[in-house]
Amino acid sequence: MFSKLTQLPADPILGLSVKFKADLNPNKIDLGAGIYKDENGDTPVLSCVKIAERFRLENEKSKAYLGSAGSALFNEKITALMLGDHQVIRENRIRTVSTPGGTGALRTAGEFIKTCTPGATIWVSNPTWANHQGVFTAAGLNVKTYPYYDYENKCLDFEGMAAALKQVSKDDAVLLHACCHNPSGMDLNKEQWQQVADIANQVGFIPVVDMAYQGFGEDLDADAFGLRLMADTVDQMIICGSCSKNFGLYRERIGACSIIGKNAISADIISSVLLSVVRVNYSMPPAHGAAIVETILDSAELTTQWHGELKEMRDRINGMRQLLVDQLVANGVTRDFSFITKQNGMFSFLGIDQTQVQRLQGEFGIYIVGSSRISLAGISPDNVDYLTQSIAKVL
């Protein structure tokens, strides 16, 4: 059986990290990995997380299974974090399960959609997170794309997006990034979210909103605007959340899949199917990350502390956007990179070609994805001058 296997290429982003670690250039810079880093290049454990972990260590009384849905308190708190005081919660129309990270939430959503409609199609933005297509294909869905990013003008192709969504079948699903679009950094504004919500309501497709970066754009509530507006507008939708970025819990693998039904009875039916999907996939979700998050969100003091630490991460990334653009100008780059300051989250396309990407890697030890997507979190005041000088040389 195994003798029939052939070697598969490494994941483009994970493979880039392997090359970066092996590079002996003392000035090397990793702008590929989608993970927050501080000015020293570290991914620190948040102080509020350490306090919550100590509390868990002292108070945990059992390692028994939590059940397929996971912790009820976590599910309640994460649902409220994403939706706020929303009518779908008050009307008991939403059901949430804990998942192994945001990727687990997406896979669970894909399996749920396939159970509802075998052979269904899900539409994802062009471009989108590199793993979206693989996750949904593995779940048994057909994957198609709709226009999103205008590479030439470095902006959102909203006209193309809206026109494509109007042609989607009512039996299809459409994936939308709630905020901090990965990989372009281009988000819908409030007016555009309203138009997309109206299209979803008119056409009847199922919106699947991926909330991977809540709090990394403007703030927790502003970043959830589109998601909450969509929930105001349509009867049914799916939300996939992640605590990897905003709580810094990458390796703990904690996320959530929430599904909204037309009413409480429909939500109960949805829950039964959703739990069945979970049972034959990973059976029970991990508990540690959920316990950390629920401990923080169940404490006014820890929540306030978390808000402050989250703001520090957000402000650092936004500061690096402006610093990068300023230093490019200071190092004589005449091409306009100001679009970078108009985007949100950790990512942006530089808009350089693959030859220039390869030169940055081979000559300067600067590692970015072949599409020219960079992670702003890899930039610091200490390396930005070397980075911008290197970019100037390859342009």
> Does the structure show a pLDDT above 90 at 49?
yes
Phi and psi angles of residue 125, each rounded to the nearest 5 degrees, phi first: -70, 150
pLDDT digit string, tens, across residues 325-356: 999 999 999 999 999 999 999 999 999 999 99
Note the pLDDT of residue 282: 97
**Between the CA of residue 59 and those of 34, 49, 56, 204, what are the distances in Å?**
33, 15, 5, 47
If pLDDT is split at 50, 70 and 90, which confidence band does 290 have? Answer: very high
Domain 10-44+314-394 has CATH 3.40.50.300: no
| Total Cβ atoms within 10 A of residue 28 | 18
If pLDDT is split at 50, 70 and 90, which confidence band does 11 have? Answer: confident
- The size of the chain, in residues, is 395
Note the pLDDT of residue 205: 98
In sequence order, what are the residues at sequence separation of 6 or more whose Cβ sits closer than 8 angstroms to the Cβ of residue 24?
Answer: none
Find the catalytic residue in 30, 172, 187, 210.
Answer: 210
Note the pLDDT of residue 13: 77
Q: What is the DSSP letter of 35?
A: S
* Mean pLDDT, rounded, of the chain: 96
Residues of the chain with CATH 3.40.640.10: 65-298
Strand partners, 237: 260
Q: According to CATH, what is the number of the domain 65-298?
A: 3.40.640.10
Instruction: Establish whether 11 is a catalytic residue.
Output: no
> Does the structure show a pLDDT above 80 at 293?
yes
> Does the structure show a pLDDT above 80 at 14?
no
Instruction: Establish whether 129 is a catalytic residue.
Output: yes
Note the pLDDT of residue 246: 98
Is 132 in contact with 102 (CB distance < 8 Å)? no
Q: What percent of the chain has pLDDT over 90?
A: 96
Find the catalytic residue in 28, 123, 129, 157.
Answer: 129
Strand 142-147 relative to strand 373-375, pairing: unpaired
Host H or E run for residue 122: strand 121-126
Find the catalytic residue in 37, 187, 245, 306.
Answer: 245
Note the pLDDT of residue 6: 93
Instruction: Average the pLDDT over 53-78 and give the result.
Output: 97
> Does the structure show a pLDDT above 90 at 235?
yes
**What are 280's two structure tokens?**
């034959």
> Does the structure show a pLDDT above 80 at 262?
yes
Cα Rg, the chain, nearest whole Å? 21
Note the pLDDT of residue 264: 97
Note the pLDDT of residue 258: 98
Instruction: Average the pLDDT over 220-236 and give the result.
Output: 98
pLDDT digit string, tens, across residues 99-109: 999 999 999 99
**What are 256's two structure tokens?**
């959530």
If pLDDT is split at 50, 70 and 90, which confidence band does 385 have? Answer: very high
> Does the structure show a pLDDT above 90 at 46?
yes
Residues of the chain with CATH 3.90.1150.10: 10-44+314-394
In sequence order, what are the residues at sequence separation of 6 or more whose Cβ sits closer than 8 angstroms to the Cβ of residue 221?
Answer: 84
Instruction: Average the pLDDT over 208-229 and give the result.
Output: 98
Residue 306: what residue type? W
What is the torsional sign of CA 91, 93, 99, 103? negative
Phi and psi angles of residue 210, each rounded to the nearest 5 degrees, phi first: -95, 110
pLDDT digit string, tens, across residues 268-284: 999 999 999 999 999 99
> Does the structure show a pLDDT above 90 at 17?
no
pLDDT digit string, tens, across residues 22-44: 999 999 999 998 899 999 999 99
- Between 266 and 18, the more confident residue is 266
| Total Cβ atoms within 10 A of residue 394 | 16
Burial class (CB in 10 A: 0-12, 13-18, 19+), 57: exposed
Note the pLDDT of residue 16: 87
Place of tokens 């957000």: 314
Instruction: Establish whether 210 is a catalytic residue.
Output: yes
| Total Cβ atoms within 10 A of residue 191 | 9
